[in-house]
Amino acid sequence: MSAPTHGALAGIKVVDLTRVLAGPLCTQMLSDHGAQVIKVEPPTGDETRKLGPPYDRLGHAAYFSALNRGKKAISLDLSKPQAQAVLHKLLSDADVLVENFLPGTMERWGLGFEQTLKSRYPRLIYCSISGFGADGPLGGLPGYDAVLQAMCGLMSINGEESVGAVKVGIPIVDHLTGYVALSGILLALQARSRTKNGQRVEATLYDTALSLLLPHASNWFASQKPPELLGSAHPNIAPYDKFQAKDGELFIGILNDPQFRRFCSHIGLEELPDDPRFASNSSRVTHRLQLKKLIEIAIQNKDSGQLCESLMRVGVPAGSVNSVPDALNHPHSLHRGMVITRGDYVGLRSPVRLKDTPDQPGERPPAFAQHADEVLRNAGFTDEDIVCLHETGAAPRP
């Protein structure tokens, strides 16, 4: 099995025991930047393979295809000693292991980091991803993105009074946890270059969700006033909100007084910056509802797209509220190369860009255990061994 030779992480081998979103997203980004990633799935497969419709031509859910390109796939039943022996073979020259089992699962199999792997593979970086961590009042419990959004206050600040609290429309906690895990792994690799030793990296959905509470947490620390539902508005800045124009909605974000003055001049409200209610950001925040009404009256006959472009040209950030297809087909999205096409595979590119060692997104996501024999042979198993592993169920066939 040839390892990638491109990218900043060329030569790094990753054993990926993760499923669903945060872990697979992390390891996909490692793969995009040159790491060799071996995806190890349980006999039942990664749950996201079945989270559809829609499905691609191979029967994979689009959800799975979004998170697993560039990986070699094998299945192991890690409850079986024969499968554990395979994992040890894979770890013998691995740099990173990433897992997102419930805390205690790896220990129950005799594969815990402190328990076994740290002493056996001293250079190994072991990244665990979980809902709440292993200890504390919620330690070891399962966690899902939307549940963490609810528990950690994110839903309480997302929504409007008329509809109440609403979860963010993407799995934002899972997504950011993948980046937290990626950052921790890269930090640990840098530390290893000095110390020659691996270490444990931990990423939890709970910590990640709480870290998203900015500026709402700091506002509460300072005022002891619980944040309110503001819809698309900002608690500290105005106008920083969604507005209705003639043909659709747009978002206008104004951070300082010069921007506000240029904005008002552009839409025919030249007198507004001299009105005491709107002369400073703090006064605009206090009178945000009156300000929004005046702005929407001024732009009610304007085309949203044209207005956004003209505002941006004078230094006022503004953008149409686009649909997902509109956003993905925007000329700038195409210019940035954010949409990847590999035959009939279409996916989103990692946003991390390196000029001298650029990323190179890998091949389409693998079928279940697609590379089992290849991975096993490269780990030193004979054809007879491979047949035995398949027959015992330790390494299920595709």
- Give the active site residues: 174
- From residue 64, give the alpha-carbon distance in Å to each of 180, 323, 356, 360: 20, 22, 30, 19
For residue 22, count other CB atoms closer than 10 A to its CB: 30
Long-range own/partner contacts, residues 310-319 (CB < 8 A, 24 or more apart): 310/266, 311/252, 311/263, 311/266, 314/262, 314/266, 315/259, 315/262, 316/252, 316/254, 316/259, 316/262, 316/263, 316/266, 317/252, 317/253, 317/254, 317/259, 318/250, 318/251, 318/252, 318/253, 319/250, 319/251
If you count DSSP H runs as helices and E runs as strands, how many of each does the chain have, helices first? Answer: 17, 13
CB 303 within 8 A of CB 245: yes
Angle at 395 between CA 391 and CA 398, to 5 degrees: 90
Element (H, E) at 343: none
CB 22 within 8 A of CB 129: yes
- What is the 8-class DSSP label of residue 325? H
Q: In one letter, which amino acid is 355? A: K
Collapsed DSSP state (helix, strand, coil) of residue 159: strand
Tokens, residue 28: 């996909």
Residue with tokens 């054809």: 383
Residue with tokens 């409200």: 269
CB 96 within 8 A of CB 116: no
